[in-house]
Structure 1
């Protein structure tokens, strides 16, 4: 029996699957694969095969679990019995319950739950085939499924793991590295660099943790680019579309459109003010007052004539009273 330890990194710096230490496995994404779900995504990452589905927002039962100010996110992670080599016992386990809890908390900072009070958003991630890093792969798939369901998010959430093998830090562990490695550090990060999930299995020094965080941020940026390209392929392509749009992040595109609309409104307002100021300045320079319209003159004359008629009617009324009184006095005499 050969008792020599397995070498995960050769003299050329390549791992057992041919990748370098800072490379992630190939990823394939397909959005909207389930017709009965509000949103869905199928993801292949290496030999991992994950499908995620989103249902909701819908009314939460029992009502005592409802939140009057926000929606509740229920995340369920499950591994199919046939997803691993040794058949797994069906049903929830301690591991799946733990992953479901931390994954649900990873989405709470980015999902705008305040728009859906007293409701629930159900997210299901099913592992069809496992090859290490299933929790991070499920988070990546669930993010795209939420967007496919129309749930507003503040940012994309991408997840990746970094580990330690042969005394070196490597990105995106495969199954063999995960099983026989020295440490595993799964992390979920938003586009702004906010960490929404951080777990560790094994031992790393303080310096190794700092290096691992830089390495995993690089991996998450690669995943975010794949997520953006998948979203643009699903929602951003149309006949005659500019191909350069694929290189523009979603946040930059939305902010650019908002800026353009604000600039247009501001320019219109400024131009109208400039025109009004110029007309007033021209009048002041010429020293001439604007002539009133003919219609205004006719209205003024009509009002004056009506006032005069009212005054004449009042005068005739008083004259008649005086005349009657005078005639009555003459009769008495």
Structure 2
């Protein structure tokens, strides 16, 4: 099945990762899934939130923030002041949960990692692009801490990436753009690790219920699509711009 942009049903959009995209953050990337573009940065601060100060064993913390810049969509979106919208809060919690699933925070006590994901152009899949890029930004930051001796052991236990998969007329479509997302019968976001484990599966039927068999088909399609992405992430974390 050919899609409106010429892709096959199991084909992701072109992926591009530009590492060290900004100057001051400990880790940063520009990540593009087709026309969706997200800047992801990782900042590192000493100290942890108050609820962790007396934790046993001592541990660090990781949190995430997400926003869509006003010019990222066809109609200007308003800046989220004084607090993020419900959608943005839900997405930044998803990013935080996903990345905390592959970091051992007891190996980085007294450090707080903040991942900022700012969408500069949106064409569907902004949350999955944010997760995929945030991991690379974090790995760049962690590698710097290891080289400087501020960390004695690597707290990252795995790699993580994400992709959206949808159903339309019973066909499974990988990596939906906005046009496909807005007309899909089902849109599911799949977050998984390089070792093949799933961290989160978010799915909502838009027009009709879906079966267990369809869920398994979607998970298999997501796994096949993401396997090459992990190699690109690691290449980018080593400082090389990569494209698929």
Is the CA contact (8 Å cut-off) linking 2:41 and 2:116 kept in structure 1? yes
Which residue of 215, 232, 236 corresponds with 1:230? Answer: 236
Is the CA contact (8 Å cut-off) linking 1:73 and 1:120 kept in structure 2? yes
Residue 151 of structure 2: aligned partner: none
Residue 187 of structure 1: aligned partner: 190
Residue 256 of structure 1: aligned partner: none
Alignment of 1:90-169 (within 5 A): 90-91=79-80, 92-150=84-142, 152=154, 153-169=156-172
- Looking at structure 1, the residues matched to 160 and 16 of structure 2 have their Cα atoms a distance apart, in angstroms, of 17
Residue 53 of structure 1: aligned partner: 41
Is the CA contact (8 Å cut-off) linking 2:18 and 2:29 kept in structure 1? yes
Unaligned runs of 5+ in 2: 144-153
1:87 aligns with 2:76: yes
Greater mean alpha carbon deviation, residues 217-226 or residues 135-144: 217-226
The structure with the largest alpha-carbon Rg is 1
Which residue of 25, 33, 52 corresponds with 2:21? Answer: 33
- Looking at structure 1, the residues matched to 127 and 134 of structure 2 have their Cα atoms a distance apart, in angstroms, of 10
- Looking at structure 2, the residues matched to 132 and 119 of structure 1 have their Cα atoms a distance apart, in angstroms, of 33
Q: RMSD of the alignment, in Å?
A: 1.7
SS in 1 for 2:72: coil
Residue 216 of structure 1: aligned partner: 222
SS in 1 for 2:127: helix
CA 1:168–1:53: 2 relative to 1, 3 Å: same
Alignment of 1:258-297 (within 5 A): none
1:70 aligns with 2:73: no
TM-score normalised according to structure 1 size: 0.64
Residue 146 of structure 2: aligned partner: none
Q: Post-superposition shift, 1:74?
A: 1.0
Q: Post-superposition shift, 1:103?
A: 1.4
Q: Post-superposition shift, 1:194?
A: 1.3
1:175 aligns with 2:163: no
Which of 1 and 2 has higher RCO (CA within 8 Å, sep 6+)? 2
Is the CA contact (8 Å cut-off) linking 2:20 and 2:239 kept in structure 1? no
Greater fraction strand = 2
User: Matched residue pairs, number?
Assistant: 222
Is the CA contact (8 Å cut-off) linking 1:163 and 1:185 kept in structure 2? yes
